[in-house]
Each structure stands twice: as C-alpha cells, then as structure tokens.
C-alpha cells in the first residue's frame, strides 16, 4: 500500500494593490461583467474576464434558465466566447468574481464542470491558464494552472487522442 499526497499551489494576496496592474485590471473587468449576469433564480452574479495573448480582454457572465440545469457558468460562457470569436488567441489569465446578496468575501472557485472545461482549454492551447479569484472584497487567490484546480483529471489521453 502506498499513500500519495497531491499538492496544489495557491498564491494569496490581501488586497488588489498587491497585484500587478494587469491582474488588477482583469479582476476589475470581471467585476464589471457581473452586471451582464442573467441570474434571476440564484441571484448570484458571476463575472469572468479572459486576458488573451494579443492583449484583448473577453468577458462573460452566468446565464440561467427557468429549466435550471440549462444555465451556464460565467467561466464557460467566457471560454466559449474566446474560442468562437478569437480561436487563434491563447488565454493568459482568467479572472472570476461575483456579486451576491450576502456580500460574501470568500473567492468564488470554479465548479467541477468548469474545472474540466478549463483543463481542456489549457491543453488545447498548450499553455497554462492563470486563474485569479476574488469574492466581494477580501483576499485574492491566484492559481497558476487549471491542473492545480483539478488533480486526477480525465483527459483525451485516455481516449487515445
Ligand atoms: N456559477 C458560475 O457562474 N461560476 C461558478 O464558478 C460557480 C457558479 C453560477 C451558476 C449559477 O448561475 C449561479 O452561479 C449559482 O450557482
């Protein structure tokens, strides 16, 4: 028997002024994108902003539906928009934040489906995606790769691709 320990690294910052101007701006754009969230059911407005290798920023927000499972998270809306509109660009960083009734200062962490999706985008572009997380104020967390969010991931190698 052997026990294996899996480690992920998260860098935590106390306030936006500790971030680079680029990261701070991206987080700000994600915050603005919460304004486009369509979330009448959860009332939890998530915004995401992707910085592309050409310097452009693409934003997205969660889009819900009366048929609840159809709703799409802000992360996947943003990733799909990048792929559909800027297919040649790589994603350097993805900032994610939210606004809710609770004024919750814990960073939002991507759901399992979004982690799997992020991993595939990272593998497709053959470059890590930095993930920047913040709640409604409070600390900021930076994760250097989607792999850090999803140890023991399932990917195309198992399918012989
Ligand atoms: N949501 C996101 O957009 N991203 C996340 O990382 C977590 C959850 C959305 C889905 C749903 O519209 C609402 O937040 C509440 O779960």
Digit-coded pLDDT (tens) for 107-130: 989 999 999 999 999 999 999 999
How many other CB atoms are found less than 10 A from the CB of residue 149?
21
| Nearest residue to 137 via CA among 27, 22, 20, 10 | 27
pLDDT digits (tens, 9 = 90+) for 45-90: 999 999 999 999 999 999 999 999 999 999 999 999 999 999 999 9
62 lines ligand 1 (CB under 6 A): yes
- Predicted local distance difference test score (pLDDT) of residue 114: 98
Q: Whose CA is nearest to atom 5 of ligand 1?
A: 110
Number of domains in the chain: 1
Query: Is the pTM higher than 0.75?
Result: yes
Determine the residue of 62, 94, 107 to mutate for testing ligand 1's pocket, defined as the one with the most ligand atoms within 8 A of the Cβ atom: 62
Judge whether 109 lies within some domain: yes
Closest to 130 in 3D by CA, of 90, 85, 80: 90
Q: Which domain holds residue 93?
A: 22-151
Distance 4 CA to ligand 1 centre (A): 31
**pLDDT score, position 108:** 87
* Within-domain flag for 16: no
CATH number, residue 53? 3.40.140.10
* 108 falls within a domain: yes
**157 belongs to a structural domain:** no
75 catalytic? Reply is yes
Whether 4 is covered by a domain: the verdict is no
Instruction: Give every CB contact of residue 70 below 8 A, 6+ residues apart in sequence.
Output: 64
- Ligand 1 atom with the shortest distance to the CA of 63: 12
In the numeric block, the tokens 């198992």 are attached to 158
* Residue 7 counted as domain residue: no
Active-site option among 75, 120, 122, 144: 75
**Inside any domain, residue 11:** no
Residue 69 lies in a domain: yes
């Amino acid at each position: 028997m052997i026990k294996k320990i899996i480690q992920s690294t998260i860098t935590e910052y106390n306030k936006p002024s500790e971030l680079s101007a680029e990261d701070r701006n991206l987080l700000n754009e994600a915050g603005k994108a919460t304004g486009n969230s369509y979330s009448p059911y959860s009332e939890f407005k998530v915004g995401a902003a992707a910085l592309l290798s050409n310097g452009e920023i693409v934003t997205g927000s969660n889009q819900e539906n009366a048929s609840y499972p159809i709703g799409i998270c802000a992360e996947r809306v943003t990733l799909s928009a990048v792929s559909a509109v800027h297919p040649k660009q790589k994603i350097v960083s993805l900032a994610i934040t939210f606004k809710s009734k609770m004024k919750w200062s814990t960073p939002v962490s991507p759901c399992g489906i979004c982690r799997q999706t992020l991993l595939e985008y990272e593998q497709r572009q053959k470059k890590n995606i930095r993930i920047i997380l913040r709640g409604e104020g409070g600390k900021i967390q930076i994760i250097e790769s989607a792999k850090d969010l999803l140890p023991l991931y399932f990917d195309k190698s198992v399918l012989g691709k």
